[in-house]
Structure 1
């Protein structure tokens, strides 16, 4: 129970008894999580920090708009809103999608055409001028990039989106700020209060000790993890780029600042925060300074405090880490269901492209079977590709169980998708080659990686159809896995690589811009008018997938997809055990017809099943079922 003295003191902060009751009930519900988490991280400093946080929370609660308060109540009544089968995400850069925030407001009909309910606009808070890591070097968390509009424009867009049942998702960069951020400027000016917001060392002693166990994120253009700053008079921790200063989360003032930012943006209408680079926020000597236990206590504290003020808000962890570490970002043991509500299933993306190249799903199955189960209250963010590169996050252990050499398979995938492997269909680019490790990540639009670019260049009609079939199958897996499917702008139209990035000075050194094109609105019109064009075929298929998904309760994200044995390694079988019955996803990753034994379907579904994608009914009386190349089926029990 909430301490009586504290409750009495807090009641004086309210003019309305109902508001007081609401705040105190939520504080009673989430206060223990908040206090315990703060104590675990900050020890004796926790009580003073809590007093300051309550002041921040009360201010935000009083300033929360009425329509967002109603949304809070609705979400408390439906806490599984992110897990619903009709939840579809769309991800875009504001300027590349529609010019600015006002332009996005004019494209809501397009988003409705895809049944979008979750719109992630990539970094739009004010970044530093010049190079800014695609917007992830934030100079001001309370301002919008000037060419995109104002904070009032953001609030207006959020209101319009809410009116259409669409949640606004924004990035919150937790690990670092731009060197030009107010905190960093004050630190460089010698203010000791703000110098304590960062990791600054007078000489190389400590940096060299840390470097002994730290990896390099961008070895090509940002080697090392520390940068000398003359004004600050020291070596500053800069994990990602010299102009991105890592903040010091061991300082409780940093925690208070970020909670204030979260609640400010939540009151502007942000419903989901993508917690960028969250794995890096706690530093520990002798480790890689990733995935440290304090990260999860900090996330739990931020979530608890946010739930007290704005329970409609959800957290999504941007943690591109090994599965054994990833599960902790959704909550394990003491943190079960108490940290982020959502996390990226990066492994799914990696295995999709791996199986597409090898035409074998053994590794896919082994990797999924080794995945720890997530909390039933959490969900995955799922995608065929993202704004980032594809790093071949394939463990040697998974590879060995699949009968592969991990290093050799990773080299094969880099060769295949960079277009150098004999017979490849892919057109991708190598990103961040690390000669020390042999690591070669890949950039490229999904359609170019799936073969459409090469087929169009040669006028190969069979190749065009085959590449579209590959894309359709990949998206069927994503939408049929159970989570929030994330469609990255342009993939719904099978858009190709955009090589014009090389002519933009701030983009030229980063070939990930090859898969961050300007939206082709003429192609979007063509897709609606010509269903036989590549864009038309892809767009129509995605609409069909979305409609089938919304009508399939088995895809509620509280249920996990399990990879089960397949008698043909070209075919992936994903089983979901839902109260409505079993669902079996069947996916042929081969360019060949497969005569698939029906006994392998009967043992999961019985003698008959419905294919939710075709609408047809199947009877498994014959010994085999023909699966055309890249065929996808969502089978449910009759």
Structure 2
């Protein structure tokens, strides 16, 4: 790290006047001494000499938040400092849900916490619940007030009560923090429209098209169907407003240090309400630079590191998760490289894993999967991946042309195949999905659909076909076995544990009708949950019991600690994926059959990795690898370690 002249007080004596308790003063000062230089270095890289005025303001914000942090959260801070790998433990399994669709209100969510606890959940991500604009609001990502909860869900006090209940059961509350933009109804935007120069500088405003036209030459369109272009004319502002995602979402000007100060205050306010993990939404878009796509700029990583340093000083129990759906070469920077190594976000989405799961399922071939994983540079050992089979969003076919070429495929051709397959247009497809945001200029067609419907369960049940129903269940469990066995935090999207199908009535809600991603955001079916628990022989019951078994097996495997990476091993069969994890306690080998065929897999390929004998931690079976092949049933998954 480069040496910088300290502008922050880095010893206890300099801040003692702000404390009545010497121990509290020492605690704050020690953290300030540890993280202050990182904070200062990153801020100087972004704001230059402006940090002379910014740093004292940040210190005042941090001192206030530290003094008002509840005692039980301060105790959690100390516990996390003693166990900094808490987010990397094998028992860390996440659940992602919209609060209203899961249980109506925050109090309703609290009533169902025992269900989550019984499932083995340690991390609950409630989708955007801070007060959005009325009407269309991009699924809650157009925030009008960061200090209030949606009125239909409850209050901030309800959120704090839920967080406390979760915390008492060892479950961390995760919330979205939308960093790139606010709703045009947010107070900052209202003040800007009223002409306040302070708040006008919170946004990117242009008096004519010269600036926007310059940027548009290199900017992509995120939602070409319903939000073409990246700028919107506003009569009150008398100018063009930068609106990357929707006309009602105004991009913030992170070149203004006041915006960073505002978000430091918001993060610490929410942390003191009990939020333990912040999903940093649209983090890649924060910094704008002409001549680029305005994504993944170096300043983004400095800004994230600065926010993290402030959180570490006041609330070290808090972790950051980067929502950066970008190429592997760019993604690694969100976990930290070079001077930022391990000092940016604590977690990032491994979006390539999801794409390759569905790609291999459609093609019955894992060669592209292997190449895509090899393209990932090693992550910092103190960070973790977030893996998922499905999420709230669409599936964009992020298959690089280079990876495809290395396995003899055409990148555009394979992406076209995947869109056809999962929209049900490809002959013989088992999937039922919907095309989302078709871009005729690029040929890009993303896909919406629930895990179960994309994996073939909806079509099989409609056809009354027992064999296809069985194969669909096997596919669903295979996908989850890969994510649960990959290492990191596996994230279950609400209802996937019950194999919920597409919601055919999603369009009945007017603000959802134009966004078919709501087809895979159904309401929680609590009757189905009871049925699945009572009868594990039904398709939904099989998925539920199978997933619970996978979670229980994962919990007991130290090999799945997230400090260790999964890496692909050359497989003699193109249908079978081999993932190896080299843990101090030994090798864990994941074996995954991505086809509906029974495969006689060469025993030597497993013996070379594990030795002559192994134990499968999923079935409890013992293997001796001799001359006979290992029989892999359709969509079979094995988690193998060498036998003692």
Aligned-partner Cα distance in 2 for 1:336–1:204: 40
Matches within 5 A, 1:143-292: 143-292=148-297
Please state if 1:73 is matched with 2:74: no
Q: Cα deviations across residues 245-265 of structure 1 (Å, max 9, x unaligned)?
A: 000000000000000000000
Please state if 1:379 is matched with 2:384: yes
Matches within 5 A, 1:112-511: 112-511=117-516
CA contact (8 A) 1:201 1:235 kept: yes
Partner of 2:571: 566
Matches within 5 A, 1:615-626: 615-626=620-631
CA contact (8 A) 1:599 1:623 kept: no
Which of 587, 610, 614 is 2:619 aligned to?
A: 614
Aligned-partner Cα distance in 2 for 1:111–1:254: 36
Which of 82, 105, 108 is 2:110 aligned to?
A: 105
SS in 2 for 1:506: helix
Aligned-partner Cα distance in 2 for 1:618–1:259: 54
Partner of 2:556: 551
Aligned-partner Cα distance in 1 for 2:206–2:504: 41
Which of 42, 51, 63 is 1:37 aligned to?
A: 42
Q: Cα deviations across residues 307-364 of structure 1 (Å, max 9, x unaligned)?
A: 0000000000000000000000000111000000000000000000000000000000
Normalised to the residue count of structure 1, the TM-score between the two structures is: 0.99
Q: Cα deviations across residues 560-583 of structure 1 (Å, max 9, x unaligned)?
A: 000110000100000000000001
Aligned-partner Cα distance in 2 for 1:281–1:397: 28
Structure 1 segments, 4+ long, off by >4 Å, are 1-7
Partner of 1:54: 59
TM-fit CA distance, 1:9: 3.5
Aligned-partner Cα distance in 2 for 1:22–1:424: 60
Which of 594, 609, 618 is 2:599 aligned to?
A: 594
TM-fit CA distance, 1:8: 3.3
Partner of 1:581: 586
Partner of 1:25: 30
Please state if 1:529 is matched with 2:534: yes
CA contact (8 A) 1:89 1:119 kept: yes
Q: Cα deviations across residues 101-158 of structure 1 (Å, max 9, x unaligned)?
A: 0000100111011110000000000000000000000000000000000000000000
Aligned-partner Cα distance in 2 for 1:604–1:456: 40
TM-fit CA distance, 1:499: 1.7
Q: Which runs of 5+ in 2 are unaligned?
A: none
TM-fit CA distance, 1:5: 8.3
Aligned-partner Cα distance in 1 for 2:504–2:300: 38
CA contact (8 A) 1:272 1:313 kept: yes
Aligned-partner Cα distance in 2 for 1:194–1:452: 51
CA contact (8 A) 1:174 1:276 kept: yes
Q: Which runs of 5+ in 1 are unaligned?
A: none
Please state if 1:10 is matched with 2:15: yes
Aligned-partner Cα distance in 1 for 2:120–2:413: 41
TM-fit CA distance, 1:4: 6.5
Q: Kindly tell me: are residues 64 and 4 of structure 1, through their superposed partners in 2, closer, same or farther at Cα, counting changes over 3 Å?
A: closer
Aligned-partner Cα distance in 2 for 1:195–1:637: 63
Aligned-partner Cα distance in 1 for 2:167–2:503: 32
Aligned-partner Cα distance in 2 for 1:60–1:264: 7
CA contact (8 A) 2:11 2:29 kept: no
Aligned-partner Cα distance in 1 for 2:299–2:153: 36
Tell me whether 241-250 or 534-543 shows the greater mean CA deviation. Answer: 534-543
The size of the alignment, in residue pairs, is 638
Aligned-partner Cα distance in 2 for 1:312–1:535: 37
Normalised to the residue count of structure 2, the TM-score between the two structures is: 0.98
